Amino acid sequence: MLAAWSYAVLRVCGLVLLALAGGWVFGYPWLWLIVLALGFLAWQLANLHRLERWLAVRDPRGGIEAPGKWADVVAHVGRLRRRNRMRKRRLAELLREFRHSTDALPDGAILLNRRREILWCNEAAARLLGLRAHADRGLRIDNLIRHPDFVTHLERAGSAGGRSSVELASPLDEAVLLSMQTIPYGDRQNLVLVKDITYQAKLEQVRQDFVANASHELRSPLTVISGYLDDLVEDEKMPAVWGGPIREMQRQSQRMQAIIGDLLELSRLEAPGGETEHNEIDVAALLAQIHRETLALERRPRDVVLTIDTEARLLGRESEIYSAFSNLVANAVKFTPEAGRIEMRWRADSLGAQMSVIDTGVGIPPESIPRVTERFYRLDGGRARRSSGTGLGLAIVKHALQKHQGMLEIESEPGRGSTFTCRFPPERIVVPVENQIPHDQVPGT
Ligand code: ADP
C-alpha cells in the first residue's frame, strides 16, 4: 500500500522534473509543466471513466486492469461488491427457507399492516381461509373475511393491544371450525394465527355428550336407590346395627344426586347455540332473595350483609344468574366460620356492573386460585370432605358468567378471606350507569 503511494508520488515528481528538464533544454518551463499536468489529468480522467463503466455493469465478477493507485481502488470496490453479492444471496436463501418452512406449517399465519392490509400469508392460511397468497396481498383482510365475529375480534385486538382469539367456521367450508388468534407486534402491525380446531371441537362435543348422557342415565336408578334408602332410614323395624350404614348410604346417594344435578347443569350451560335470553333481571331483588335464604340457614356466619349501590338491571337468563350468585354465597357460607362475615354487593360503573361476594373465611392459597374453577378441583382433602360440595360449583359459576359475556375474578388471602367478583360488560346493563348512594344495608342476625 505504502509502495503504491510512493510510486504515485514519484510519478508526479518525475513529471515535474521532466517539465523542468524540457524547459531548461528548450525554454518555456511553465508551458512544459502545464502540458504535462494536462496530460496527467487526462490520463486520470480516462481511468475514472473506465472505473465508472465497470461499476455500471451489474455483474461484479472480474475487474479492470488499472495502473498505479487505481488498481487498489478497483480491488477495494471489487471486494465490497463481492461481499455485498454474497450477503444478498444469503438473505435470499434465508427468505426461501423461511417461506418453505412457513408453508410447511399446518397452521396459517398472516401478517397485517396498521391498515389491516395483508402483507404476507403462508399456504395454510390461504388454504384454510380461501385467500390467494399473491393476488390478495395489499387487500384489507376484513374485506375478504367478512364474518362479524372476526371483524369485532380485529377491532378489539387493535384497541386492547393484547392477544385474543375467536372461533369461526371457515369461509370455504361450514364444517371446518377455525380458531384465529391475533398477536400485535411492531408499529400497530398484527400477526394472525389460524388453526383448524374441527377435531378438538368434535372431541369436546363427544366428551360433553358423554357426560350429559351418562349423568342423565344415572339419574333414574339413583332416584330409585335414594327413595328406598329414605324409606329404610325411617323404617322402625330396621335393626339398630344397620342404622349408621344406611344413613351413610343415604348421605352418599344424596351427594351423588347433587353431583349429577351439577353435571347436567354444566352440560346445559356448555351446550352450543342459542344466545342467552335478554330478559331484564332485577339483580337487587334476586340478591335480596338469596340474602333471605342465607339468613334462614341453620349454620351460617353471624353477619350476612347486602349492599345495593345501583338499580342497574342485568340482561340475561335469571335461572343461570341465580345459580351463579347462590353458588358463590353458598361457598362463602361453607368456608366462613360462624363468627365471620359475608357481604354481597351490587354496583355499577363505566366498565359495567359487578356483583361481589366478600367473606372473612378460610381463604384460598395463591397457587390454588387459578385452579378452583376447574371441575372437581377442591382444596385439601380433609376440608373438602367436611364440606358437602360437589367440586362443580365454581365451574358452573364460570360458565354461567361466560354465557353472559361476564367473568369471574377471585382475590383471596389464606386466613383472612376471599372476594369473588362477577363482572358484566356495559352491553348487559340496562339502567344508565350512575353511582347511587347505598340505600339498602341489611345487617345479619
Ligand atoms: P365445592 O362444591 O367444593 O364448593 P366449588 O367449585 O364451589 O366446589 O369450589 C371449589 C373449591 O374452591 C372448594 O372446594 C374450596 O376449596 C374453594 N373455595 C370456593 N369458594 C371458597 C371460599 N369462599 N372460601 C374459601 N375457599 C373456597
Query: 385-412, pLDDT tens digit by residue?
Result: 555 678 899 999 999 999 998 999 999 9
What's the pTM value of the predicted model, to 2 decimals? Answer: 0.67
* Range of the structural domain that residue 251 is part of: 200-270
Q: Do 130 and 80 have their domain in common?
A: no
Given this model, what pLDDT does residue 381 score? 53
Calculate how far, in angstroms, residue 429's C-alpha sits from the geometric centre of ligand 1.
28
**Which uninterrupted H or E stretch holds 288?**
helix 283-295
Given this model, what pLDDT does residue 325 score? 97
Whether 71 is in a domain gets the answer: yes
Q: Do 296 and 425 have their domain in common?
A: yes
Percent of the chain with pLDDT over 90: 56
Cα angle 70-71-74, degrees, rounded to a multiple of 5: 85
Over the range 50-83, which residues count as b (16 or more CB within 10 Å of their CB) and which as e? ebeebeeeeebeeeeebeebbeeebeeebeebee
Given this model, what pLDDT does residue 444 score? 42
Given this model, what pLDDT does residue 274 score? 54
Query: 184-216, pLDDT tens digit by residue?
Result: 888 888 999 999 999 999 999 999 899 999 999
Task: Check which CATH number belongs to the domain holding 257 and give it.
Answer: 1.10.287
Given this model, what pLDDT does residue 5 score? 79
Whether 354 is in a domain gets the answer: yes
Whether 402 is in a domain gets the answer: yes
pLDDT at 440 exceeding the cut of 60: no
pLDDT at 445 exceeding the cut of 50: no
Confidence of residue 152 (pLDDT cuts 50, 70, 90): confident
- Does 397 contact ligand 1 (Cβ within 6 A)? no
- Does 364 contact ligand 1 (Cβ within 6 A)? yes
CA distance 275 to 74: 76
Percent of the chain with pLDDT over 70: 90
Give the chain's domain count: 4
Pick from 260, 266, 372 the residue to mutate for probing ligand 1's pocket: most ligand atoms within 8 Å of its CB: 372
Given this model, what pLDDT does residue 2 score? 63
Query: 303-314, pLDDT tens digit by residue?
Result: 999 999 999 999
Confidence of residue 442 (pLDDT cuts 50, 70, 90): very low
Calculate how far, in angstroms, residue 282's C-alpha sits from the geometric centre of ligand 1.
27
Whether 223 is in a domain gets the answer: yes
Cα angle 428-432-437, degrees, rounded to a multiple of 5: 115
Calculate how far, in angstroms, residue 389's C-alpha sits from the geometric centre of ligand 1.
8
Task: Check which CATH number belongs to the domain holding 424 and give it.
Answer: 3.30.565.10
Query: 69-94, pLDDT tens digit by residue?
Result: 788 888 888 889 889 999 999 999 99
- Which protein residue's CA is at the shortest distance from atom 16 of ligand 1? 379
Please compute Rg for the chain using Cα positions.
Answer: 41
Query: 12-36, pLDDT tens digit by residue?
Result: 898 889 888 988 898 888 888 898 8
Q: Collapsing DSSP states into helix, strand and coil, what is residue 272?
A: coil
CA distance 256 to 264: 12
Q: Do 186 and 205 have their domain in common?
A: no
Residue scoring higher pLDDT (432 or 324) = 324
pLDDT at 154 exceeding the cut of 70: yes
Whether 443 is in a domain gets the answer: no
Can you state the percent helix, strand and coil of the chain, rounding each to 5?
55, 20, 30
Residue scoring higher pLDDT (96 or 383) = 96
Residue scoring higher pLDDT (433 or 136) = 136
Given this model, what pLDDT does residue 443 score? 45
Domain boundary among 72, 93, 114: 93
Pick from 335, 342, 359 the residue to mutate for probing ligand 1's pocket: most ligand atoms within 8 Å of its CB: 335
Given this model, what pLDDT does residue 230 score? 92
Residue 235, classified by CB atoms within 10 Å of its CB into exposed (0-12), middle (13-18) or buried (19+), is exposed
C-alpha cell at 438: 347505598
- Rounded mean pLDDT, 258-276: 82
Residue 310 CA to its chain's centroid (Å): 32
Task: Check which CATH number belongs to the domain holding 157 and give it.
Answer: 3.30.450.20
Residue 244, classified by CB atoms within 10 Å of its CB into exposed (0-12), middle (13-18) or buried (19+), is exposed
Calculate how far, in angstroms, residue 252's C-alpha sits from the geometric centre of ligand 1.
19
Q: What residues pair up with 347 in beta bridges, in sequence order?
A: 354
Pick from 378, 390, 411 the residue to mutate for probing ligand 1's pocket: most ligand atoms within 8 Å of its CB: 378
Cα 22 to Cα 8, 242, 391, distances in angstroms: 21, 141, 113
C-alpha cell at 195: 388453526
C-alpha cell at 217: 342415565
- Rounded mean pLDDT, 343-361: 95
**Which uninterrupted H or E stretch holds 261?**
helix 240-270
Whether 435 is in a domain gets the answer: no
Calculate how far, in angstroms, residue 30's C-alpha sits from the geometric centre of ligand 1.
108
Q: Do 179 and 145 have their domain in common?
A: yes
Whether 98 is in a domain gets the answer: no
Atom of ligand 1 nearest to the CA of 395: 6
Given this model, what pLDDT does residue 70 score? 81
Q: Do 425 and 285 have their domain in common?
A: yes
Residue (of 325, 218, 226, 224) closest to 261 by Cα position: 218
Q: Do 239 and 320 have their domain in common?
A: no
Given this model, what pLDDT does residue 163 score? 58
- Which protein residue's CA is at the shortest distance from atom 7 of ligand 1? 393
- Does 379 contact ligand 1 (Cβ within 6 A)? yes
Residues 233 and 250 sit within 8 Å (Cβ to Cβ):
yes
Q: Do 109 and 179 have their domain in common?
A: yes
* DSSP of 16-59: HHHHHHHHHHHS-HHHHHHHHHHHHHHHHHHHHHHHHHHHHSS-
Domain boundary among 211, 240, 270: 270
Q: Do 254 and 183 have their domain in common?
A: no
Domain boundary among 179, 196, 213: 196
- Rounded mean pLDDT, 251-271: 91
Residue (of 294, 307, 381, 379) closest to 340 by Cα position: 294
Residue (of 308, 313, 322, 217) closest to 264 by Cα position: 217
Average pLDDT, the chain: 87
Q: Do 109 and 251 have their domain in common?
A: no
Whether 66 is in a domain gets the answer: yes
Given this model, what pLDDT does residue 379 score? 80
β-pair type (279-281, 417-424): unpaired
Cα 429 to Cα 65, 156, 254, 343, 344, distances in angstroms: 84, 20, 38, 22, 18
Residue (of 399, 391, 388, 145) closest to 266 by Cα position: 399
- Which protein residue's CA is at the shortest distance from atom 11 of ligand 1? 378
- Does 418 contact ligand 1 (Cβ within 6 A)? yes
Q: Do 138 and 32 have their domain in common?
A: no
CA distance 111 to 137: 10
Given this model, what pLDDT does residue 63 score? 67
pLDDT at 434 exceeding the cut of 80: no
Given this model, what pLDDT does residue 437 score? 47
Residue scoring higher pLDDT (58 or 113) = 113
Q: Residue 333: how many CB atoms within 10 A of its CB?
A: 20
Calculate how far, in angstroms, residue 295's C-alpha sits from the geometric centre of ligand 1.
20
Q: Do 283 and 426 have their domain in common?
A: yes
Calculate how far, in angstroms, residue 175's C-alpha sits from the geometric centre of ligand 1.
39
CA distance 80 to 55: 12
Atom of ligand 1 nearest to the CA of 327: 7
Q: Do 191 and 204 have their domain in common?
A: no
